[in-house]
C-alpha cells in the first residue's frame, strides 16, 4: 500500500553541487545547491533564491564553477550550505579548503573537489517559483585520482554524496549497479 505525502520536493537522489564564485572584493564564495543540474549537452541550470550572495556574484561576474564534492569534504561542503556569505564574510576561509583561479572563467576552482565544470552565465530567468540561472559549460576538470586506466572519469572514484530531502541526510554514492543502454536490452528482443 502506498502512503500519500501530498506535495513535497521528494526526489532521490538530490545532487550536492558546489557553486563557486568571486565576491566583489575577489574573496571566494562557495555555496552548496541541490536544485539544478544538467539541462542540455553543454548547459547547466541552477535554481536559486534571489537573496543569495552567490546570485549577486553571478550577476556581477557572469561566471561560476560547479563542482561535485567528495565524502572527504562533507563537513566543509555542508558548512557552505548552512552559512550565508551575506552574514559570514570569511565563509570560505573558515573551511580550510584551497582554490585556484580558473584560467577559462572568472571563478574559483576548489582543489579538493574531484570534478569541476567551468561555466559562463548565459541567462537569468525569473520564474514564478524563483530564479533559474543557465550556464554554458566551457570546460570540465577532473582530478587524476578519479580517472580510470583509460583516462576517463570513474564515477565510483568521485566518492560523491547525494542529499536526502526526506530525512535531511547525505548518502555516499559510487557502487555500479548496471550498464546504461545495456541492462534493459534483453527486453527489446521480447515479443
What's the pLDDT tens digit per position in 50-97?
A: 999 999 999 999 999 999 999 999 999 999 999 999 999 899 999 999
Question: Sign (positive/negative) of CA torsion 144, 147, 152, 154?
Answer: negative
Give the integer Cα–Cα distance in Å for 72 and 115: 13
According to the model, what pLDDT value does residue 21 have?
98
Kindly indicate the confidence band of residue 174, based on its pLDDT and cuts at 50, 70 and 90.
Answer: confident
**25: Cα separation from own chain's centroid:** 24
pLDDT tens digits for 24-44? Answer: 999 999 999 999 999 999 999
With 90 as the cut, is the pLDDT of residue 168 above it? yes
pLDDT tens digits for 93-148? Answer: 999 999 999 999 999 999 999 999 999 999 999 998 899 999 999 999 999 999 99
Region for 184 from its dihedrals, namely left if φ exceeds 0, alpha if ψ lies in -120 to 50, beta otherwise: alpha
Domains of the chain: 17-188 (2.30.110.10)
Give the integer Cα–Cα distance in Å for 16 and 35: 9
Residues 6+ apart with CB under 8 A from 30: 18, 19, 20, 80, 91, 92, 95, 97, 108, 110
- The DSSP letter of residue 76 is H
- Mean pLDDT over 182-188 rounds to 90
pLDDT tens digits for 143-166? Answer: 999 999 999 999 999 999 999 999
Model confidence pTM above 0.85: yes
Residues 6+ apart with CB under 8 A from 189: none
Give the largest CA-CA distance in the chain: 65
Amino acid at each position: 500500500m502506498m502512503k500519500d505525502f501530498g506535495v513535497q520536493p521528494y526526489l532521490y537522489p538530490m545532487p550536492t553541487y558546489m557553486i563557486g564564485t568571486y565576491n566583489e572584493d575577489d574573496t571566494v564564495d562557495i555555496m552548496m545547491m541541490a536544485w539544478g543540474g544538467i539541462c542540455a549537452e553543454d548547459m547547466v541550470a541552477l535554481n536559486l533564491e534571489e537573496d543569495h550572495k552567490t546570485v549577486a556574484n553571478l550577476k556581477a561576474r557572469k561566471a561560476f564553477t560547479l563542482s561535485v564534492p567528495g565524502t572527504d569534504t562533507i563537513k566543509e561542503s555542508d558548512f557552505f550550505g548552512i552559512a550565508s556569505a551575506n552574514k559570514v564574510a570569511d565563509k570560505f576561509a573558515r573551511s580550510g579548503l584551497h582554490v585556484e583561479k580558473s584560467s577559462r572563467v572568472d571563478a574559483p576552482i576548489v582543489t579538493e573537489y574531484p570534478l569541476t565544470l567551468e561555466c559562463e552565465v548565459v541567462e537569468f530567468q525569473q520564474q514564478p517559483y524563483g530564479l533559474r540561472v543557465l550556464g554554458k559549460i566551457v570546460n570540465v576538470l577532473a582530478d587524476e585520482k578519479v580517472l580510470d586506466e583509460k583516462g576517463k572519469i570513474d564515477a565510483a572514484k568521485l566518492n560523491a554524496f547525494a542529499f536526502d530531502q526526506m530525512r535531511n541526510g547525505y548518502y555516499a554514492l559510487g557502487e555500479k549497479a548496471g550498464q546504461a543502454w545495456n541492462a534493459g536490452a534483453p527486453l527489446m528482443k521480447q515479443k
